[in-house]
Amino acid sequence: MKYYRAFLFLAIMSFISCSKTKVPDANVGERVNEPMQIVLFNYEFYPSELLVPIGKKVEFTNKEAAKHCLRIETLDISEDMEPGAMFSYTFDEAGVYELTSSCDPPKMRGVITVQ
C-alpha cells in the first residue's frame, strides 16, 4: 500500500510537469552592460517581479503568438507589441512600477522595483 501511494504521487507529479507549457528563459542582466529582460508569454510576465538598479535597461519581449499591450501607467508608457516584438526602457528613477497589459486578461500583471 505504501508503494502504491508513492507510485501514484510520482505519476501525478510527472503528468503535471509534462502538461505545463515551457516558459522561455529571460536574461537577468548580470553583466554591467547587459540589459535585463521580461518575457511576455502565456499571458504572463516572466519574471513577474524584477529588482532593477537605477540606470539599467530592461527589454520586454513578446514570445507569444498573440499581441500584448504593455502598459506602465506611472511612466505613461503604452506599447502595443505584436508577436516577436521587443521594447526596451532604461529606468533612471527609483520607484515601484506596475506592469499591465490592457488588451489581455486582467491576470497579466508584474512589478519592477528600481533601487
Domains of the chain: 24-114 (2.60.40.420)
Tens of pLDDT, residues 15-69: 444 444 555 555 555 555 789 999 999 889 999 999 999 999 999 999 999 899 9
Residue written as grid cell 512589478: 111
Among 56, 43, 32, 42, smallest CA distance to 112 is for 56
Read off the amino acid at residue 60: F
C-alpha to C-alpha distance for 75 and 40, rounded to whole angstroms:
19
